[in-house]
Amino acid sequence: MDKFSFVGKSLPRKDAFIKATGRARYAADQDFAGLLYAAAVRCPKPRIKILSISAAKAEKVPGYVTLVTYKDVKGPNKWPLVSSDYPFLPETEARFQGETIALVVAETRKAAVAAARLVEIKYKELPFLDDPLRALEKNAVKLHGDDNVFAKFVIKKGNPDQAIRDAHVVVEEEFSTNYQVHAYLETQGVTAVPEPDGGLTVYSSTQCPFYVLDAVAAAADLGYHKVKVIQTVTGGGFGGKEDVPALVASHASVCALKVGRPVRLIYDRKEDFNSMSKRHPSWSRVAYAADRDGKITACVVKYVLDGGAYATLSPIVLWRGAVHAAGPYRIENIRIEAYAAATNKVPCGAFRGFGQPQICFAQESLVDELAHKLEMDPVRLRLKNILRPGDKTATGQIIGASCGLEKLLETVKKRSNWDRRKAKGLRIKDKGEIARGLGVSVAYYGVGLGAKGRYLDRAGAYVNIYKDATVGVNVGNTEMGQGALTVLSQICAETLNAPYENIKLEEVDTSKVSDSGPTVASRTTLMSGNAIIEAAAPMRDNIFKTAFELLLAKGADGSGPMRAAEGLFSIGEVSVTFAETVKECWNRRMKMGEQGWYVAPRTSYDMGDGQGDAYVTYSYSADVADVEVDLKTGVTKVLKIYAAYDAGRIINPGLAEGQAQGGLLQGMSWALYENLAYKNGIMLNPNFTDYVLATTADKPEYDITFIEKPYAGGPYKAKGIGEVPLIGVAPAVGNAIMNASGARVRTVPLLPEKVWNGLNGKKS
């Protein structure tokens, strides 16, 4: 690390100043001449047949301009995504409460909202489904195909049935998890601006500008060269601004083309809750078998996700969950069946962890139950079975050298004083009716989109060095609060030996760089970082060669090595600056702008039996949660979380620490508090008053360690950190509750009433 000038340093965020001073311009801050506003007319029931739509009353609102329906969609009325089953605007049937049926355009947002409420929809209620398990029954109402299955995946290895018959110990249980709302501070927002040539420029709060490009071009029936998408400063995403901003943008764009003026569409919090994607609810049945020594010999999983009314990203989310469903263990006999089912509820999509936190809660809770049945320490059981370099995953993939899971687990074991606490039964009744305990979990996470998403797993970059030695960088992956602008600037600065302050990452503009896929799956550092290095490499060669020649011209001894660091080139006591070198490169008419393109290595995964290389590499985590449980009420408080991560080389330790803290709190919030409620297909608590989130007042103490196991294929041997901090929190907390109080809760969130039921011998 001493050899690096910028990589591995906690340099200040590139966007810190504009955000701290309020100068950042979010989706609602853009100014356009002639701006109009749109508001959605939403489905009032879980499933309806649309008989008619009337704007007669809405037209009387001062400022009303027009009503927009499916008839105004110029292209095919299908949002181009994985399955393309979601209409931009429904024609005859709406499939969930909150679905956008039409839009009103008005001179002010207030007028648009008022008019939208007056639009009359005549409809007939249709039979609906609100339970994914019921949806899979043969006699269920048919919402999608013949079986209500958006996607199904199977992973098979060995003979799990025989292994279970031969096992010394078998554990099998059912688990379920609820929704999680992204709770980004900035709701969905977009402005669509018609251009003189008939095209559109779209300013979108999004983490996937190219998804927006696909949708707008389709809805508007325009060539891609006529649509430009510019990402505005984005106030949080967590996966919730992956797919659905494309739908919001298509609505604004259809409105803008109809009226010939810029149209802004900003969601309020309630409609964002009602209509935008969530973490999938899940149900699973998991079984583990082990021999007398605690070696896990088999794992059998049935995993079901509630996809909601339309497929959106459910097939991709499901696949990731299935691939990781056996946990980060070497197990010879595997059978995993995974289903994404259709229901008449809000469509679900990407959320930090992408299908893994749900099944991780199940399998890591059950591993603890296996340890209990074996009368073995849970950490010891895991150390006996976890993946190490050279081991094979559930899909038969051989784990490479970049795997620090054993060290991670040993680290949290030591730092949490696990052995000392274990000697006291993991339970300390030192506060009367308060019980205290520790719980452990481990997880791994495939970096990038993997075999199922490999056609999207690419990234572009354009690096332009100006005459004054400042550097402009365009990439296709976005900043949404995670620190991408900063980390990618560090990678560019390191590659060119340019001063960090000279680097500027531009806002993502789809007209400046090729489709780089979505900003998800902890892929930005790996993908865009490698693309930047490829773009910068030819210019680096020219710069370093020119610097060497300038040093010789200044009298340096050419037999000695040239040192390049901190934006300075030197041989002995003779030096030249990056700025001097770039000036000379321009004098020599060298090319000072280059494109880079990075494609993830091909994987060998077989979708038939689920065997092969699912991802190019993995990041890893180990967590120990220290909790207190009130034995009278079941209220749980997380006192401290010990966490350790292997995410390859850490480019910016300060930002990595922030990612870890944010992921831990978000995972704890899902584990304990977040409980989105539905009744008869209607969302009951679409607001921050009744949907409870963890706040800074609930924040536990953090003990975070990074163990760097460099990945040879990453930029400066980095992998990805964004997702792993969240994945293992819920099972660690659940296991700690069990160890503290004896109450095993198998459903997330781990609400006080569920813990109380467990304390009193009732099933939760």
pLDDT along the chain (764 residues), means of 10: 86 96 96 97 98 98 98 97 95 98 98 98 98 98 97 98 98 98 98 98 97 98 98 96 97 98 98 98 98 98 98 96 98 98 98 97 98 97 98 98 98 96 59 88 94 85 98 95 95 98 95 89 88 98 98 94 96 97 98 95 92 96 97 96 97 97 98 98 97 96 97 95 96 96 97 96 78
- Rounded to 5°, the CA angle 325-328-329 comes to 100
Q: What is the CATH number of domain 282-451+606-759?
A: 3.30.365.10
> How high is the pLDDT of residue 322?
98
Nearest to 382 by CA among 417, 353, 412, 358: 412
- Two tokens, residue 184: 């980004």
Contacts of 636 (CB under 8 A, 6+ apart): 627, 628, 629, 630, 672, 733, 737, 750, 752, 755
Q: 388 exposed, middle or buried (CB, 10 Å; 0-12, 13-18, 19+)? A: middle
Q: Are 448 and 528 in contact (CB under 8 A)?
A: no
Q: Report DSSP state, residue 502.
A: G
**Per residue in 548-557, is it b (16+ CB within 10 Å) or e — as a string?**
bebbeeeebe
Q: Are 4 and 494 in contact (CB under 8 A)?
A: yes
- Two tokens, residue 220: 């508007």
CATH level 3 topology of 16-22+458-599: Aldehyde Oxidoreductase; domain 4 (3.30.365)
Q: Tell me the pTM.
A: 0.96
With both helix axes pointing from N to C terminus, report the angle between 653-672 and 356-374 in degrees, rounded to the nearest 10. 70
Nearest to 54 by CA among 64, 39, 69, 74: 69
> How high is the pLDDT of residue 590?
98
Q: How many residues does the chain have?
A: 764
- Two tokens, residue 530: 């490698």
What are the sequence ranges of the domains in the chain?
Answer: 16-22+458-599, 32-126+188-266, 282-451+606-759
- Two tokens, residue 482: 């995670």
Three-state DSSP state, 464: strand
**Tokens 């998890």 sit at which residue?**
177
Residue 38: beta bridge partners? 105
Q: 613 exposed, middle or buried (CB, 10 Å; 0-12, 13-18, 19+)? A: buried
Contacts of 432 (CB under 8 A, 6+ apart): none
Contacts of 481 (CB under 8 A, 6+ apart): 234, 235, 236, 237
Architecture of domain 32-126+188-266: Alpha-Beta Complex (3.90)
**Tokens 């936190």 sit at which residue?**
357
Nearest to 525 by CA among 432, 416, 448: 448
> How high is the pLDDT of residue 551?
98
> How high is the pLDDT of residue 2?
59
Separation of CA 86 from chain center: 22
CA–CA gap between residue 427 and residue 237 (Å, rounded):
38
Ramachandran area for residue 603 (φ above 0: left; ψ -120 to 50: alpha; else beta): beta
- Report CA Rg, the chain: 27
Q: Are 203 and 191 in contact (CB under 8 A)?
A: yes
CA–CA gap between residue 473 and residue 462 (Å, rounded):
6
Q: Are 263 and 38 in contact (CB under 8 A)?
A: yes
CA–CA gap between residue 211 and residue 92 (Å, rounded):
26
> How high is the pLDDT of residue 423?
60
Residue 442: beta bridge partners? 622
Task: Examine domains 16-22+458-599 and 32-126+188-266 and report if their fold is the same.
Answer: no
CA–CA gap between residue 153 and residue 155 (Å, rounded):
7
Strands (E) across 401-469 are located at 434-446, 458-465
Q: Are 740 and 750 in contact (CB under 8 A)?
A: no
Ramachandran area for residue 298 (φ above 0: left; ψ -120 to 50: alpha; else beta): beta
CA–CA gap between residue 503 and residue 505 (Å, rounded):
7
> How high is the pLDDT of residue 1?
46
Contacts of 281 (CB under 8 A, 6+ apart): 132, 176, 177, 178, 179, 305, 306, 348, 358
Q: Are 229 and 192 in contact (CB under 8 A)?
A: no
CA–CA gap between residue 626 and residue 166 (Å, rounded):
36
- Two tokens, residue 239: 């996966």
Phi and psi at residue 610, in whole multiples of 5°? Answer: 70, 25
